[in-house]
Amino acid sequence: MGVYIGIAIIVLLVLWLIIIYNRLVMLKNRVRNNWSQVDVVLKNRFDLIPNLVETVAGYAAHEKETLSRVTEMRTKYASAGSIQEKAEANGEIAGLLGRLMVVAESYPDLKANENFLYLKQQLTAIEDKIRFARQFYNDTVEALNTAIMSFPNNLVAGMFGFREEPFFHIDEAEKSVPRIKF
C-alpha cells in the first residue's frame, strides 16, 4: 500500500511540474506575441515617417537637422536587437516627431496641405494603436513576471531558466512631447 502512495505522490508532483511549466511557456509565448504586435505597430509608424518628413521638408527646407535626425532614429529602431534598445529608439523618435510637429506649426500652408493632414491623421491613429499594444504587452509581461516570482512557480521557473521580461517603459522625454493642435 505504501508503494502505491509513493507512486501517487510522484505522479502528482510530475503533473504539478508539467502544469506549472506549461503555464510558464504559455505566458512566455504570449509576451513574445504581444511584443511582436508592438513591433508591428511601431514599424507602421516608422514606415509613415518618410512620407511625413518629405511633406514637411518641402515646406521647411532649412529644418534639415530635425528631419535627418527623424530618419536616423527610424534606422536605429530597425537595427535594434533587444526590447530595451527598441524602447529607447521609440522614445527618441517620439520626441523628434513632437519637434517635427512644432516645425510644421510654423508653416501655415503646410498645416492646410491635404497630404500633411492625411499623414498627421494616420500618425495619430498609429500612436493610439501603439499605446494600446504597449499596454497589452505590459499586462502580459506583468502576468509572466508574477508567475515567475510566485511560489512555487519560482522553483520551476528557476529549474528551466525562465527569466523576467522587461516592461515597455515610457521615458521622460516621451512623456513631455508637446501636443500640437492643427
Q: What is the pLDDT of residues 125-139, one digit of tens each?
A: 888 898 899 999 999
pLDDT at 177: 42
Is the pLDDT at 170 greater than 70? The verdict is: no
pLDDT at 176: 46
pLDDT at 120: 80
Mean pLDDT score across all residues of the chain? 81
pLDDT at 175: 46
What residues have CB less than 8 Å from 5, skipping those under 6 apart? none
pLDDT at 108: 67
Top-confidence residue, 66 or 149: 149
Closest CA to 179 of 120, 131, 126: 120
Query: For the chain, how big is the Rg over CA atoms in Å?
Result: 23
pLDDT at 59: 64
Top-confidence residue, 120 or 19: 19
Q: DSSP code of 152?
A: T
Top-confidence residue, 76 or 23: 23
Q: What is the mean pLDDT of residues 13-28?
A: 95
Q: Are 168 and 142 in contact, with CB atoms under 8 Å apart?
A: no
Residue with cell 528631419: 67
Is the pLDDT at 39 greater than 70? The verdict is: yes
pTM: 0.71
Q: What is the mean pLDDT of residues 41-50?
A: 82
Ranges 91-95, 113-117, 142-146: which has the least confidence: 113-117
pLDDT at 136: 93
Q: Which amino acid is at 73?
A: M
Is the pLDDT at 71 greater than 50? The verdict is: yes
Q: What is the mean pLDDT of residues 36-44?
A: 87
C-alpha distances (whole Å) from 6 to each of 3, 11, 15, 73, 155 are 5, 9, 14, 61, 22
pLDDT at 180: 41
